[in-house]
Amino acid sequence: MRKLLNTLFITTSNVYLTLKGETVVVSQEEDVLGRIPLHNLEAICTFGYAGASPMLMHACAEKNVSLTFLNAHGKFLARVIGESKGNVVLRKTQYRISDSEIASAKIARNFIFAKVANQKWILERATRDNPLRIDVPAFKQVSERLLEDLKKILACEDLELLRGLEGQAASAYFGLFDQMILQQKEAFYFKTRNRRPPTDNINALLSFIYTLLAKDVSAALETVGLDAYVGFLHRDRPGRASLALDVMEELRGVIADRFVLKVINKKMLDEKDFIRKEDGAVLLTDEGRKKFLQAWQERKQETLTHPFLKEKINWGLVPHAQAMLLARHLRGDLEEYPPFLWK
């Protein structure tokens, strides 16, 4: 499996990246701030309007280092993609399935199944770990409800119905989300999911982590030769990485939500790391963003045993493992796509 190396995050906006030999040079006007050998990197991610030289872009594309530009708020702007891999057969299969609602639903079902199963597991973990802090009967009730939803999802081969089931399950799960925030309750609370712009601290963190995860999933899909923009559950929309969003469904709760809860419950961030704009939008401060990214990097290095492959990998490689499994399913090696089911 791919080695998980570091992501270089550029959080200052007036920084320029160039390539000298095999080394990425980070500079600000005349000053060189740092040099990192390209082969030590798996990804480069810039915030604000940092620039990068075409040479560097080319080297990244060639060496499979993902290079992504986000704006200062963490909104996705652009990504460098090189010459696409020659895997025409795989892509054509992907397009054929995407064109058929019925065939798409078979794969979409597994994404949704895993999403809900993982949400259920998060709730169960909370009842086990913090029975005195949460409303256990309410958690049990929702968990049982999600079990019923899972049974329905497994039998469902209709995209519209699947989306409906997914939506209901998500609102039941998010209905309990606030209770899983155990620290700093005055500053961190959750009412409903809101975005564009997020208007409270938790939603700001959720939006940000989803963007980071989506970028990792896109890169993983492109690495195995899939087209991140052609999805099964999410239909085509210009500029939207639909397949990345599909695969992300099963990873949102188990990777992103849990990470946000951990950061707050372990007090790795506090109220001072956020600012509220005049329009009500909530943003991370530069300092807050740095802490958050640092914690995210560390999280990605932690290991787990992949539930289907039964192999030890880093959390950061989970998107790669799923992309690989999806590709192998599309090529006919597996009768179904095995989603990431955490337990």
Residues of this chain that bind another protein (CB under 8 A): 1-2, 63-64, 85-90, 110, 113, 117, 147, 150-151, 154, 224-225, 307-309, 311, 324-325, 328, 331-339, 341, 343
Indicate the residue among 1 and 33 with the shorter CB distance to another protein: 1
Indicate the residue among 149 and 273 with the shorter CB distance to another protein: 149
Residues 6+ apart with CB under 8 A from 230: 94, 95, 98, 236, 242, 243
Indicate the residue among 32 and 147 with the shorter CB distance to another protein: 147
**Burial class (CB within 10 angstroms; exposed 0-12, middle 13-18, buried 19+) of 116:** buried
CB 48 within 8 A of CB 72: yes
Minimal distance in Å, beta carbon 322 to another protein? 12
Minimal distance in Å, beta carbon 210 to another protein? 24
What does the block give as tokens for 283?
Answer: 């943003």
Report d(CA 21, CA 258) in Å as an integer. 40
Minimal distance in Å, beta carbon 244 to another protein? 19
Minimal distance in Å, beta carbon 205 to another protein? 28
* End-to-end C-alpha distance for the chain, whole angstroms: 22
Minimal distance in Å, beta carbon 47 to another protein? 28
10: nearest Cα among 21, 22, 18? 18
Minimal distance in Å, beta carbon 317 to another protein? 11
Minimal distance in Å, beta carbon 150 to another protein? 6
Indicate the residue among 190 and 337 with the shorter CB distance to another protein: 337
Minimal distance in Å, beta carbon 98 to another protein? 19
Across 77-107, b (16+ Cβ under 10 Å) vs e yields eebbeeeeeebeebbebbeebbeeeeebbeb
Indicate the residue among 113 and 190 with the shorter CB distance to another protein: 113
Q: Treating both helix axes as pointing N-terminal to C-terminal, what angle do 242-251 and 201-223 enclose, rounded to 10 degrees?
A: 120
CB 12 within 8 A of CB 50: yes
Number of Cβ within 10 Å of residue 23's Cβ equals 14
CB 58 within 8 A of CB 23: no
Indicate the residue among 42 and 257 with the shorter CB distance to another protein: 42
Indicate the residue among 91 and 193 with the shorter CB distance to another protein: 91
Indicate the residue among 6 and 87 with the shorter CB distance to another protein: 87
